[in-house]
Structure 1
Protein backbone atom coordinates (compact mmCIF):
# COMPACT_ATOMS: atom_id res chain seq x y z
CA UNK A 1 0.00 0.00 0.00
CA UNK A 2 1.40 3.48 -0.85
CA UNK A 3 2.62 5.18 2.31
CA UNK A 4 0.39 8.26 1.95
CA UNK A 5 -2.67 6.04 2.01
CA UNK A 6 -1.23 3.82 4.72
CA UNK A 7 -0.66 6.68 7.14
CA UNK A 8 -4.01 8.32 6.51
CA UNK A 9 -5.92 5.05 6.71
CA UNK A 10 -4.15 3.36 9.61
CA UNK A 11 -4.30 6.43 11.85
CA UNK A 12 -8.06 6.48 11.54
CA UNK A 13 -8.61 2.87 12.53
CA UNK A 14 -9.49 1.48 15.93
CA UNK A 15 -6.40 0.37 17.79
CA UNK A 16 -5.97 -2.56 20.15
CA UNK A 17 -3.94 -2.86 23.31
CA UNK A 18 -0.51 -4.46 23.11
CA UNK A 19 1.76 -6.20 25.57
CA UNK A 20 4.18 -3.90 27.39
CA UNK A 21 7.64 -3.61 25.85
CA UNK A 22 10.59 -4.34 28.13
CA UNK A 23 10.55 -5.40 31.78
CA UNK A 24 7.30 -5.69 33.68
CA UNK A 25 6.65 -3.53 36.76
CA UNK A 26 8.33 -5.01 39.81
CA UNK A 27 6.53 -6.02 42.97
CA UNK A 28 6.90 -3.61 45.87
CA UNK A 29 10.03 -4.21 47.90
CA UNK A 30 9.93 -4.19 51.68
CA UNK A 31 11.38 -0.99 53.10
CA UNK A 32 13.92 -2.99 55.12
CA UNK A 33 15.46 -4.28 51.89
CA UNK A 34 16.18 -0.90 50.38
CA UNK A 35 19.51 -0.36 52.14
CA UNK A 36 22.42 -2.68 52.85
CA UNK A 37 22.98 -1.15 56.30
CA UNK A 38 22.19 -3.34 59.31
CA UNK A 39 23.44 -6.54 57.71
CA UNK A 40 20.64 -7.00 55.16
CA UNK A 41 21.54 -9.76 52.70
CA UNK A 42 22.57 -8.21 49.36
CA UNK A 43 20.85 -11.07 47.53
CA UNK A 44 17.50 -9.82 48.86
CA UNK A 45 17.94 -6.44 47.22
CA UNK A 46 16.41 -5.94 43.78
CA UNK A 47 17.63 -3.17 41.51
CA UNK A 48 14.91 -1.08 39.87
CA UNK A 49 17.25 0.30 37.21
CA UNK A 50 15.83 -0.39 33.76
CA UNK A 51 19.29 -1.20 32.39
CA UNK A 52 22.26 -1.90 34.64
CA UNK A 53 24.58 -1.17 31.69
CA UNK A 54 23.20 2.31 31.10
CA UNK A 55 26.68 3.91 31.41
CA UNK A 56 27.61 2.59 27.95
CA UNK A 57 25.52 5.40 26.48
CA UNK A 58 25.60 9.20 26.66
CA UNK A 59 23.09 10.63 29.11
CA UNK A 60 21.76 14.07 30.02
CA UNK A 61 23.80 15.18 33.06
CA UNK A 62 21.10 16.39 35.45
CA UNK A 63 17.95 14.44 34.53
CA UNK A 64 16.44 11.04 35.33
CA UNK A 65 13.16 9.31 34.46
CA UNK A 66 11.14 7.72 37.25
CA UNK A 67 7.80 6.04 37.73
CA UNK A 68 6.42 6.40 41.24
CA UNK A 69 4.33 3.66 42.74
CA UNK A 70 0.68 4.78 42.61
CA UNK A 71 0.05 4.00 46.27
CA UNK A 72 2.61 6.64 47.24
CA UNK A 73 0.13 9.49 46.73
CA UNK A 74 0.78 13.18 46.19
CA UNK A 75 2.16 13.88 49.67
CA UNK A 76 4.37 10.82 49.67
CA UNK A 77 5.72 11.79 46.26
CA UNK A 78 6.43 15.31 47.46
CA UNK A 79 8.23 14.03 50.53
CA UNK A 80 10.30 11.65 48.43
CA UNK A 81 11.33 14.44 46.06
CA UNK A 82 12.53 16.47 49.04
CA UNK A 83 14.48 13.47 50.31
CA UNK A 84 16.05 12.97 46.87
CA UNK A 85 16.84 16.68 46.49
CA UNK A 86 15.02 16.57 43.15
CA UNK A 87 12.20 18.41 41.46
CA UNK A 88 9.81 17.63 38.61
CA UNK A 89 11.06 18.83 35.24
CA UNK A 90 8.41 17.12 33.07
CA UNK A 91 5.24 15.22 33.85
CA UNK A 92 3.88 12.54 31.50
CA UNK A 93 0.62 12.04 33.34
CA UNK A 94 -1.46 12.58 30.21
CA UNK A 95 0.23 9.55 28.67
CA UNK A 96 1.40 7.30 31.54
CA UNK A 97 0.32 7.92 35.16
CA UNK A 98 2.96 8.57 37.84
CA UNK A 99 5.75 9.02 35.26
CA UNK A 100 8.10 12.00 35.46
CA UNK A 101 11.42 13.44 34.39
CA UNK A 102 13.26 14.79 37.43
CA UNK A 103 15.91 17.47 37.64
CA UNK A 104 18.55 16.37 40.14
CA UNK A 105 21.40 18.13 41.91
CA UNK A 106 23.96 15.34 42.05
CA UNK A 107 25.80 13.31 39.43
CA UNK A 108 23.51 10.93 37.53
CA UNK A 109 25.63 7.88 38.39
CA UNK A 110 25.61 8.76 42.09
CA UNK A 111 21.84 9.37 42.06
CA UNK A 112 21.06 6.09 40.30
CA UNK A 113 23.35 4.15 42.60
CA UNK A 114 21.87 5.75 45.71
CA UNK A 115 18.25 5.03 44.77
CA UNK A 116 18.53 1.87 42.71
CA UNK A 117 17.00 -0.28 45.46
CA UNK A 118 14.01 1.99 46.20
CA UNK A 119 11.47 -0.49 44.92
CA UNK A 120 9.33 0.38 47.92
CA UNK A 121 8.41 3.71 46.33
CA UNK A 122 9.48 3.51 42.66
CA UNK A 123 8.53 1.10 39.88
CA UNK A 124 11.69 1.93 37.97
CA UNK A 125 14.51 4.44 37.69
CA UNK A 126 16.60 5.26 34.61
CA UNK A 127 18.80 7.93 33.03
CA UNK A 128 17.67 10.27 30.26
CA UNK A 129 19.54 9.14 27.16
CA UNK A 130 21.05 11.45 24.57
CA UNK A 131 20.01 10.69 20.99
CA UNK A 132 21.18 12.13 17.68
CA UNK A 133 20.04 12.59 14.12
CA UNK A 134 21.15 9.78 11.86
CA UNK A 135 21.90 11.60 8.64
CA UNK A 136 23.82 14.70 7.62
CA UNK A 137 22.13 17.07 5.19
CA UNK A 138 24.25 18.33 2.28
CA UNK A 139 23.99 21.96 1.19
CA UNK A 140 22.91 21.05 -2.35
CA UNK A 141 19.43 22.45 -2.86
CA UNK A 142 18.59 19.58 -5.24
CA UNK A 143 19.90 16.85 -2.96
CA UNK A 144 18.67 13.41 -3.89
CA UNK A 145 16.49 14.59 -6.80
CA UNK A 146 13.57 13.02 -4.94
CA UNK A 147 14.43 9.52 -6.17
CA UNK A 148 12.66 8.11 -3.11
CA UNK A 149 9.21 9.13 -4.31
CA UNK A 150 9.39 6.67 -7.19
CA UNK A 151 10.85 4.00 -4.93
CA UNK A 152 7.73 4.09 -2.74
CA UNK A 153 5.38 4.41 -5.72
CA UNK A 154 4.19 7.81 -4.52
CA UNK A 155 2.87 8.90 -7.97
CA UNK A 156 0.46 5.95 -7.94
CA UNK A 157 -0.75 6.98 -4.48
CA UNK A 158 -1.19 10.58 -5.61
CA UNK A 159 -3.64 9.40 -8.28
CA UNK A 160 -5.99 8.55 -5.43
CA UNK A 161 -4.93 10.70 -2.51
CA UNK A 162 -2.70 13.75 -2.06
CA UNK A 163 -3.36 14.33 1.61
CA UNK A 164 -5.78 16.13 3.88
CA UNK A 165 -5.35 19.68 5.15
CA UNK A 166 -6.91 18.63 8.47
CA UNK A 167 -4.53 15.70 9.01
CA UNK A 168 -1.81 16.63 11.54
CA UNK A 169 1.69 15.16 11.47
CA UNK A 170 4.24 16.02 14.17
CA UNK A 171 7.81 16.69 13.04
CA UNK A 172 9.93 15.90 16.13
CA UNK A 173 13.28 17.15 14.99
CA UNK A 174 15.60 20.19 14.93
CA UNK A 175 12.63 22.46 14.23
CA UNK A 176 11.31 23.62 10.87
CA UNK A 177 11.48 26.84 8.87
CA UNK A 178 7.82 27.97 8.99
CA UNK A 179 8.34 30.58 6.29
CA UNK A 180 9.80 28.16 3.74
CA UNK A 181 7.92 28.61 0.46
CA UNK A 182 7.22 24.90 0.14
CA UNK A 183 6.16 24.43 3.77
CA UNK A 184 4.36 27.60 4.88
CA UNK A 185 0.95 26.53 3.55
CA UNK A 186 1.21 23.17 5.33
CA UNK A 187 2.31 24.38 8.76
CA UNK A 188 -0.16 23.53 11.53
CA UNK A 189 -1.88 26.42 13.28
CA UNK A 190 -3.15 25.90 16.82
CA UNK A 191 -6.87 26.80 16.66
CA UNK A 192 -7.06 27.30 20.42
CA UNK A 193 -4.14 29.70 20.82
CA UNK A 194 -4.04 33.45 20.10
CA UNK A 195 -0.63 34.29 18.69
CA UNK A 196 1.44 36.81 20.59
CA UNK A 197 -0.90 37.63 23.47
CA UNK A 198 1.37 36.10 26.12
CA UNK A 199 -1.46 33.92 27.45
CA UNK A 200 -1.80 30.14 27.57
CA UNK A 201 -5.20 30.25 25.86
CA UNK A 202 -5.64 26.49 25.49
CA UNK A 203 -4.46 25.69 29.03
CA UNK A 204 -1.82 23.16 28.01
CA UNK A 205 1.02 24.86 29.90
CA UNK A 206 2.61 26.29 26.73
CA UNK A 207 2.20 30.02 26.09
CA UNK A 208 1.67 31.07 22.43
CA UNK A 209 2.32 27.59 21.02
CA UNK A 210 0.81 28.69 17.74
CA UNK A 211 2.50 26.13 15.44
CA UNK A 212 4.44 23.88 17.83
CA UNK A 213 7.01 24.24 20.59
CA UNK A 214 10.75 24.30 21.21
CA UNK A 215 11.29 21.79 24.03
CA UNK A 216 15.06 22.24 23.74
CA UNK A 217 15.10 25.94 24.67
CA UNK A 218 11.57 25.82 26.17
CA UNK A 219 10.00 28.60 24.14
CA UNK A 220 7.35 29.14 21.48
CA UNK A 221 9.79 29.41 18.56
CA UNK A 222 10.61 25.95 17.14
CA UNK A 223 12.38 27.43 14.10
CA UNK A 224 15.09 25.22 12.60
CA UNK A 225 18.68 26.01 13.58
CA UNK A 226 20.20 22.94 11.95
CA UNK A 227 18.45 22.23 8.64
CA UNK A 228 17.66 18.60 9.43
CA UNK A 229 14.10 19.26 10.51
CA UNK A 230 13.24 21.45 7.53
CA UNK A 231 14.51 18.73 5.20
CA UNK A 232 12.50 16.08 7.06
CA UNK A 233 9.36 18.22 7.02
CA UNK A 234 9.77 18.68 3.28
CA UNK A 235 10.04 14.93 2.70
CA UNK A 236 6.87 14.39 4.69
CA UNK A 237 4.78 17.34 3.61
CA UNK A 238 6.24 19.85 1.15
CA UNK A 239 3.31 21.45 -0.67
CA UNK A 240 2.56 19.65 -3.92
CA UNK A 241 1.47 20.89 -7.30
CA UNK A 242 2.32 24.51 -6.49
CA UNK A 243 4.89 25.01 -9.23
CA UNK A 244 7.86 25.61 -6.91
CA UNK A 245 10.55 23.65 -5.08
CA UNK A 246 9.95 19.97 -4.35
CA UNK A 247 7.05 17.84 -3.17
CA UNK A 248 6.42 15.78 -0.04
CA UNK A 249 4.68 12.43 0.32
CA UNK A 250 1.63 14.34 1.59
CA UNK A 251 0.86 17.37 -0.61
CA UNK A 252 -1.74 18.57 1.85
CA UNK A 253 -1.34 18.17 5.62
CA UNK A 254 -0.75 20.02 8.89
CA UNK A 255 2.88 19.90 10.02
CA UNK A 256 3.08 20.32 13.80
CA UNK A 257 6.63 21.48 14.60
CA UNK A 258 8.69 20.45 17.63
CA UNK A 259 12.35 21.32 18.19
CA UNK A 260 14.31 18.89 20.38
CA UNK A 261 17.90 19.98 19.68
CA UNK A 262 20.47 20.53 16.97
CA UNK A 263 22.49 17.29 16.91
CA UNK A 264 22.59 15.96 20.48
CA UNK A 265 19.01 15.41 21.59
CA UNK A 266 17.58 14.88 25.05
CA UNK A 267 15.03 12.08 25.17
CA UNK A 268 13.16 14.27 27.69
CA UNK A 269 12.54 16.89 24.99
CA UNK A 270 11.50 14.13 22.57
CA UNK A 271 8.94 12.67 24.98
CA UNK A 272 7.67 16.14 25.92
CA UNK A 273 7.09 16.64 22.18
CA UNK A 274 5.36 13.29 21.73
CA UNK A 275 2.96 14.04 24.56
CA UNK A 276 2.19 17.53 23.21
CA UNK A 277 1.69 16.11 19.71
CA UNK A 278 -0.82 13.53 20.94
CA UNK A 279 -2.72 15.99 23.11
CA UNK A 280 -2.95 18.43 20.19
CA UNK A 281 -4.33 15.78 17.84
CA UNK A 282 -1.38 14.66 15.69
CA UNK A 283 -2.09 11.14 14.44
CA UNK A 284 1.44 10.57 13.11
CA UNK A 285 4.90 11.69 14.21
CA UNK A 286 8.16 11.51 12.27
CA UNK A 287 11.22 10.62 14.35
CA UNK A 288 14.48 10.63 12.38
CA UNK A 289 16.93 10.07 15.23
CA UNK A 290 18.11 7.33 17.56
CA UNK A 291 20.55 6.14 20.17
CA UNK A 292 20.85 5.21 23.82
CA UNK A 293 19.64 2.04 25.51
CA UNK A 294 16.25 0.65 26.42
CA UNK A 295 14.05 3.13 28.31
CA UNK A 296 10.83 2.08 30.04
CA UNK A 297 9.61 5.67 29.93
CA UNK A 298 10.18 5.97 26.17
CA UNK A 299 8.59 2.57 25.55
CA UNK A 300 5.55 3.29 27.75
CA UNK A 301 4.84 6.64 26.12
CA UNK A 302 4.97 5.19 22.61
CA UNK A 303 2.58 2.44 23.68
CA UNK A 304 0.24 4.97 25.29
CA UNK A 305 0.34 7.10 22.14
CA UNK A 306 -1.06 4.17 20.18
CA UNK A 307 -3.50 2.84 22.76
CA UNK A 308 -4.93 6.15 23.93
CA UNK A 309 -4.42 8.54 21.00
CA UNK A 310 -4.41 6.25 17.91
CA UNK A 311 -0.99 7.66 17.10
CA UNK A 312 1.49 6.17 14.61
CA UNK A 313 5.16 6.60 15.58
CA UNK A 314 7.41 6.58 12.48
CA UNK A 315 11.03 5.92 13.52
CA UNK A 316 14.29 5.77 11.59
CA UNK A 317 16.02 2.38 11.83
CA UNK A 318 19.51 3.91 11.67
CA UNK A 319 22.36 4.41 9.24
CA UNK A 320 24.89 2.05 10.80
CA UNK A 321 24.45 -0.72 8.23
CA UNK A 322 23.58 -3.30 10.88
CA UNK A 323 20.74 -5.81 10.75
CA UNK A 324 19.13 -4.45 13.93
CA UNK A 325 17.41 -1.14 14.51
CA UNK A 326 18.44 1.52 17.01
CA UNK A 327 16.07 2.81 19.68
CA UNK A 328 13.35 4.02 19.42
CA UNK A 329 12.77 2.00 16.23
CA UNK A 330 13.81 -1.14 18.16
CA UNK A 331 10.78 -0.99 20.46
CA UNK A 332 8.21 -3.59 19.45
CA UNK A 333 4.89 -1.78 19.77
CA UNK A 334 2.31 -2.25 17.02
CA UNK A 335 2.05 1.51 16.34
CA UNK A 336 5.70 1.89 15.30
CA UNK A 337 6.61 2.01 11.62
Structure 2
Protein backbone atom coordinates (compact mmCIF):
# COMPACT_ATOMS: atom_id res chain seq x y z
CA UNK A 1 0.00 0.00 0.00
CA UNK A 2 1.49 3.39 -0.93
CA UNK A 3 2.57 5.63 1.92
CA UNK A 4 2.75 9.38 2.21
CA UNK A 5 6.46 10.29 2.43
CA UNK A 6 7.32 11.55 5.90
CA UNK A 7 9.35 14.48 4.60
CA UNK A 8 6.18 15.89 3.00
CA UNK A 9 4.20 16.08 6.22
CA UNK A 10 6.51 17.96 8.57
CA UNK A 11 5.41 21.21 10.14
CA UNK A 12 6.75 23.52 12.79
CA UNK A 13 6.23 21.65 16.06
CA UNK A 14 6.57 24.86 18.08
CA UNK A 15 3.03 26.16 17.57
CA UNK A 16 1.05 26.21 20.82
CA UNK A 17 -2.63 25.46 21.20
CA UNK A 18 -3.17 28.98 22.54
CA UNK A 19 -1.61 30.48 19.41
CA UNK A 20 -3.37 28.15 16.94
CA UNK A 21 -6.22 29.76 14.97
CA UNK A 22 -8.53 26.83 15.78
CA UNK A 23 -8.63 25.02 19.16
CA UNK A 24 -9.15 21.31 19.62
CA UNK A 25 -12.70 20.35 18.61
CA UNK A 26 -15.31 18.48 20.64
CA UNK A 27 -16.56 15.12 19.39
CA UNK A 28 -15.82 11.46 18.73
CA UNK A 29 -12.31 10.56 17.61
CA UNK A 30 -10.76 7.32 16.35
CA UNK A 31 -8.12 5.73 18.57
CA UNK A 32 -7.84 2.09 17.40
CA UNK A 33 -9.14 -0.65 15.15
CA UNK A 34 -10.93 -3.50 16.87
CA UNK A 35 -8.92 -6.13 14.99
CA UNK A 36 -5.78 -4.82 16.69
CA UNK A 37 -7.39 -5.24 20.12
CA UNK A 38 -7.53 -8.94 20.82
CA UNK A 39 -8.86 -9.81 24.31
CA UNK A 40 -6.15 -8.99 26.83
CA UNK A 41 -4.50 -6.36 24.60
CA UNK A 42 -3.40 -2.96 25.95
CA UNK A 43 -2.56 -0.15 23.51
CA UNK A 44 -1.70 3.53 23.77
CA UNK A 45 -2.96 6.22 21.38
CA UNK A 46 -2.28 9.94 21.08
CA UNK A 47 -5.17 12.35 21.59
CA UNK A 48 -4.92 16.15 21.71
CA UNK A 49 -1.90 17.00 23.88
CA UNK A 50 -1.87 13.67 25.68
CA UNK A 51 -2.55 9.97 25.35
CA UNK A 52 -5.30 7.42 25.84
CA UNK A 53 -4.80 3.83 26.97
CA UNK A 54 -7.18 1.50 25.16
CA UNK A 55 -7.60 -2.09 26.31
CA UNK A 56 -9.88 -5.06 25.75
CA UNK A 57 -10.97 -7.23 28.64
CA UNK A 58 -10.84 -11.01 28.48
CA UNK A 59 -14.61 -11.01 27.93
CA UNK A 60 -14.18 -8.70 24.92
CA UNK A 61 -15.26 -5.29 26.26
CA UNK A 62 -13.25 -2.29 25.05
CA UNK A 63 -12.28 0.40 27.56
CA UNK A 64 -10.27 3.61 27.33
CA UNK A 65 -8.67 5.43 30.25
CA UNK A 66 -6.33 8.32 30.91
CA UNK A 67 -2.83 6.89 30.93
CA UNK A 68 -1.36 7.40 34.39
CA UNK A 69 -1.89 5.28 37.49
CA UNK A 70 -3.24 7.40 40.39
CA UNK A 71 -0.85 5.65 42.78
CA UNK A 72 2.61 6.82 41.67
CA UNK A 73 1.98 7.80 38.07
CA UNK A 74 3.13 4.78 36.06
CA UNK A 75 2.04 4.77 32.42
CA UNK A 76 -0.60 2.06 32.12
CA UNK A 77 0.06 1.65 28.39
CA UNK A 78 3.72 0.74 28.88
CA UNK A 79 3.80 -2.72 30.41
CA UNK A 80 0.20 -2.65 31.64
CA UNK A 81 -1.69 -5.93 31.35
CA UNK A 82 -5.23 -7.28 31.56
CA UNK A 83 -6.28 -9.75 34.22
CA UNK A 84 -9.79 -10.97 33.50
CA UNK A 85 -11.80 -7.74 33.29
CA UNK A 86 -9.27 -5.61 35.16
CA UNK A 87 -6.44 -3.40 33.94
CA UNK A 88 -3.21 -4.01 35.88
CA UNK A 89 -0.61 -1.31 36.53
CA UNK A 90 2.91 -2.45 35.57
CA UNK A 91 4.60 -0.74 38.56
CA UNK A 92 2.92 -2.21 41.67
CA UNK A 93 0.28 -4.48 40.05
CA UNK A 94 -2.70 -2.58 41.36
CA UNK A 95 -5.81 -3.80 39.52
CA UNK A 96 -8.54 -1.49 38.27
CA UNK A 97 -12.04 -2.74 37.49
CA UNK A 98 -13.99 -1.69 34.36
CA UNK A 99 -15.69 1.04 36.41
CA UNK A 100 -12.26 2.47 37.31
CA UNK A 101 -12.13 1.38 40.98
CA UNK A 102 -8.94 -0.07 42.40
CA UNK A 103 -9.96 -3.59 43.44
CA UNK A 104 -6.78 -5.46 44.31
CA UNK A 105 -3.02 -6.01 44.29
CA UNK A 106 -0.67 -8.94 45.05
CA UNK A 107 -0.88 -8.31 48.81
CA UNK A 108 -4.59 -7.38 48.75
CA UNK A 109 -4.05 -3.64 49.29
CA UNK A 110 -6.03 -1.05 47.33
CA UNK A 111 -5.78 2.70 46.90
CA UNK A 112 -8.65 5.16 47.46
CA UNK A 113 -8.55 6.43 43.88
CA UNK A 114 -9.61 5.17 40.50
CA UNK A 115 -8.99 5.58 36.78
CA UNK A 116 -10.63 8.25 34.69
CA UNK A 117 -12.45 6.69 31.74
CA UNK A 118 -13.34 7.95 28.29
CA UNK A 119 -16.69 7.13 26.76
CA UNK A 120 -16.11 4.53 24.04
CA UNK A 121 -18.09 3.62 20.91
CA UNK A 122 -17.44 0.91 18.33
CA UNK A 123 -18.44 1.43 14.69
CA UNK A 124 -17.54 -0.85 11.78
CA UNK A 125 -14.66 -2.44 13.66
CA UNK A 126 -13.24 0.93 14.73
CA UNK A 127 -12.97 2.36 18.25
CA UNK A 128 -13.82 5.98 19.04
CA UNK A 129 -13.54 7.98 22.26
CA UNK A 130 -15.36 11.15 23.26
CA UNK A 131 -13.45 14.36 23.84
CA UNK A 132 -15.47 17.13 25.46
CA UNK A 133 -14.94 20.20 27.62
CA UNK A 134 -13.65 19.30 31.07
CA UNK A 135 -14.29 15.61 30.46
CA UNK A 136 -18.05 16.03 30.16
CA UNK A 137 -20.46 13.33 28.98
CA UNK A 138 -21.18 12.97 25.24
CA UNK A 139 -23.77 15.40 23.91
CA UNK A 140 -24.40 13.46 20.69
CA UNK A 141 -23.85 10.01 19.21
CA UNK A 142 -22.12 8.74 16.09
CA UNK A 143 -24.81 8.03 13.49
CA UNK A 144 -25.47 4.60 11.99
CA UNK A 145 -24.85 5.47 8.34
CA UNK A 146 -24.08 2.00 6.99
CA UNK A 147 -24.77 -1.66 7.71
CA UNK A 148 -23.06 -2.31 11.09
CA UNK A 149 -21.72 -5.61 9.72
CA UNK A 150 -19.60 -3.81 7.10
CA UNK A 151 -15.97 -3.56 8.22
CA UNK A 152 -12.93 -2.21 6.36
CA UNK A 153 -11.01 -4.40 3.93
CA UNK A 154 -8.05 -2.02 3.64
CA UNK A 155 -6.72 0.79 5.82
CA UNK A 156 -3.95 3.37 6.13
CA UNK A 157 -2.83 5.70 8.93
CA UNK A 158 -0.55 8.74 8.80
CA UNK A 159 0.15 12.08 10.47
CA UNK A 160 -0.94 15.21 8.59
CA UNK A 161 0.26 18.78 9.33
CA UNK A 162 -3.15 20.39 9.61
CA UNK A 163 -6.26 20.73 11.76
CA UNK A 164 -9.20 18.24 11.55
CA UNK A 165 -11.50 21.01 10.32
CA UNK A 166 -9.29 21.70 7.32
CA UNK A 167 -9.49 18.03 6.31
CA UNK A 168 -13.25 17.81 6.89
CA UNK A 169 -13.84 21.05 4.98
CA UNK A 170 -12.75 19.39 1.73
CA UNK A 171 -16.09 17.56 1.71
CA UNK A 172 -17.80 20.89 1.00
CA UNK A 173 -15.15 22.51 -1.21
CA UNK A 174 -16.10 21.31 -4.68
CA UNK A 175 -14.23 24.07 -6.51
CA UNK A 176 -10.77 22.60 -5.77
CA UNK A 177 -11.59 19.06 -6.93
CA UNK A 178 -11.12 19.40 -10.71
CA UNK A 179 -8.22 21.82 -10.26
CA UNK A 180 -6.19 19.78 -7.77
CA UNK A 181 -7.49 16.24 -8.18
CA UNK A 182 -8.91 16.00 -11.70
CA UNK A 183 -12.31 14.93 -10.37
CA UNK A 184 -15.49 16.68 -11.46
CA UNK A 185 -18.10 16.65 -8.72
CA UNK A 186 -21.43 18.42 -8.50
CA UNK A 187 -24.08 18.41 -5.80
CA UNK A 188 -27.09 16.28 -6.62
CA UNK A 189 -29.11 17.98 -3.86
CA UNK A 190 -28.64 20.70 -1.30
CA UNK A 191 -26.61 19.73 1.75
CA UNK A 192 -28.50 18.63 4.86
CA UNK A 193 -27.64 19.56 8.42
CA UNK A 194 -29.02 17.61 11.38
CA UNK A 195 -27.30 18.71 14.58
CA UNK A 196 -23.79 17.21 14.55
CA UNK A 197 -24.36 15.52 11.16
CA UNK A 198 -23.57 17.19 7.83
CA UNK A 199 -24.69 15.30 4.69
CA UNK A 200 -23.92 16.04 1.04
CA UNK A 201 -25.07 14.06 -2.02
CA UNK A 202 -22.99 14.44 -5.16
CA UNK A 203 -22.26 12.93 -8.57
CA UNK A 204 -18.66 12.59 -9.66
CA UNK A 205 -16.83 11.64 -12.84
CA UNK A 206 -13.17 11.02 -13.51
CA UNK A 207 -10.47 8.59 -14.53
CA UNK A 208 -9.34 5.92 -12.09
CA UNK A 209 -7.56 2.58 -11.97
CA UNK A 210 -10.72 0.86 -13.16
CA UNK A 211 -11.13 3.29 -16.06
CA UNK A 212 -13.59 6.13 -16.46
CA UNK A 213 -16.13 6.22 -13.66
CA UNK A 214 -19.46 7.88 -13.06
CA UNK A 215 -20.72 7.48 -9.51
CA UNK A 216 -23.20 8.88 -7.05
CA UNK A 217 -21.84 9.62 -3.60
CA UNK A 218 -23.24 10.37 -0.18
CA UNK A 219 -20.81 12.10 2.15
CA UNK A 220 -21.67 12.11 5.86
CA UNK A 221 -19.70 14.03 8.47
CA UNK A 222 -20.35 13.41 12.17
CA UNK A 223 -18.46 16.15 13.91
CA UNK A 224 -14.97 16.94 12.67
CA UNK A 225 -13.47 13.54 13.46
CA UNK A 226 -15.62 11.22 11.32
CA UNK A 227 -16.31 11.23 7.58
CA UNK A 228 -18.03 8.41 5.74
CA UNK A 229 -18.38 8.33 1.95
CA UNK A 230 -20.62 5.81 0.27
CA UNK A 231 -20.46 5.69 -3.51
CA UNK A 232 -22.27 3.45 -5.96
CA UNK A 233 -20.82 2.41 -9.34
CA UNK A 234 -23.87 0.90 -11.11
CA UNK A 235 -22.01 -0.49 -14.11
CA UNK A 236 -19.85 -2.61 -11.79
CA UNK A 237 -22.67 -3.58 -9.44
CA UNK A 238 -20.79 -2.42 -6.36
CA UNK A 239 -21.14 0.10 -3.55
CA UNK A 240 -17.88 1.22 -1.96
CA UNK A 241 -17.36 2.77 1.46
CA UNK A 242 -14.54 5.06 2.50
CA UNK A 243 -14.04 6.28 6.06
CA UNK A 244 -11.78 9.15 7.03
CA UNK A 245 -11.14 9.66 10.76
CA UNK A 246 -9.34 12.80 11.90
CA UNK A 247 -7.82 12.60 15.39
CA UNK A 248 -5.97 15.72 16.60
CA UNK A 249 -2.71 14.77 18.32
CA UNK A 250 -1.05 18.20 18.73
CA UNK A 251 -1.84 21.78 17.75
CA UNK A 252 -2.31 21.78 13.99
CA UNK A 253 -1.36 18.12 13.62
CA UNK A 254 -3.82 15.31 12.89
CA UNK A 255 -3.60 11.55 12.77
CA UNK A 256 -5.68 10.56 9.74
CA UNK A 257 -7.00 7.01 9.53
CA UNK A 258 -8.41 5.92 6.17
CA UNK A 259 -10.37 2.71 5.65
CA UNK A 260 -12.28 1.25 2.71
CA UNK A 261 -14.69 -1.57 2.03
CA UNK A 262 -16.98 -2.64 -0.80
CA UNK A 263 -20.38 -4.30 -0.97
CA UNK A 264 -21.76 -6.09 -4.01
CA UNK A 265 -25.16 -6.37 -5.59
CA UNK A 266 -24.65 -10.08 -6.17
CA UNK A 267 -23.07 -12.12 -8.92
CA UNK A 268 -19.65 -13.70 -9.28
CA UNK A 269 -18.21 -10.73 -11.19
CA UNK A 270 -19.18 -8.12 -8.63
CA UNK A 271 -17.98 -10.29 -5.72
CA UNK A 272 -14.60 -10.68 -7.40
CA UNK A 273 -14.44 -6.94 -8.01
CA UNK A 274 -15.23 -5.97 -4.40
CA UNK A 275 -11.65 -6.13 -3.00
CA UNK A 276 -10.28 -4.58 -6.20
CA UNK A 277 -12.63 -1.61 -5.87
CA UNK A 278 -11.97 -1.27 -2.12
CA UNK A 279 -8.20 -1.23 -2.67
CA UNK A 280 -8.55 1.20 -5.59
CA UNK A 281 -10.66 3.46 -3.35
CA UNK A 282 -7.91 3.52 -0.72
CA UNK A 283 -5.21 4.20 -3.30
CA UNK A 284 -7.38 6.99 -4.70
CA UNK A 285 -7.85 8.49 -1.25
CA UNK A 286 -4.08 8.41 -0.63
CA UNK A 287 -3.46 10.03 -4.03
CA UNK A 288 -5.85 12.86 -3.12
CA UNK A 289 -4.11 13.17 0.24
CA UNK A 290 -0.70 13.54 -1.39
CA UNK A 291 -2.08 16.37 -3.51
CA UNK A 292 -3.73 18.11 -0.55
CA UNK A 293 -0.79 17.99 1.86
CA UNK A 294 1.33 20.75 0.27
CA UNK A 295 -1.71 23.05 0.36
CA UNK A 296 -2.55 22.27 4.00
CA UNK A 297 1.07 22.49 5.06
CA UNK A 298 1.54 26.00 3.72
CA UNK A 299 -1.90 27.63 3.82
CA UNK A 300 -3.21 29.90 6.55
CA UNK A 301 -6.63 29.29 8.04
CA UNK A 302 -8.95 32.15 7.10
CA UNK A 303 -11.81 32.52 9.62
CA UNK A 304 -13.60 35.01 7.34
CA UNK A 305 -13.18 33.72 3.78
CA UNK A 306 -14.37 35.75 0.80
CA UNK A 307 -16.37 33.09 -0.98
CA UNK A 308 -17.22 32.96 -4.68
CA UNK A 309 -20.72 32.44 -6.12
CA UNK A 310 -21.83 28.82 -5.87
CA UNK A 311 -20.04 28.10 -2.58
CA UNK A 312 -23.12 28.05 -0.36
CA UNK A 313 -22.30 24.53 0.88
CA UNK A 314 -18.86 25.66 2.03
CA UNK A 315 -20.41 28.62 3.84
CA UNK A 316 -22.93 26.33 5.51
CA UNK A 317 -20.13 23.95 6.54
CA UNK A 318 -18.34 26.78 8.32
CA UNK A 319 -21.47 27.68 10.30
CA UNK A 320 -22.12 24.01 11.12
CA UNK A 321 -18.52 23.36 12.26
CA UNK A 322 -18.60 26.19 14.80
CA UNK A 323 -20.69 24.05 17.20
CA UNK A 324 -17.72 21.74 17.87
CA UNK A 325 -15.66 24.24 19.81
CA UNK A 326 -15.98 25.04 23.51
CA UNK A 327 -17.07 28.53 24.54
CA UNK A 328 -14.24 31.04 24.90
The TM-score normalised by the length of structure 1 is: 0.31
Question: Bigger relative contact order, structure 1 or 2, given CA contacts below 8 A and separation 6+?
Answer: 1
From the two aligned structures, give the one with the greater strand fraction: 2
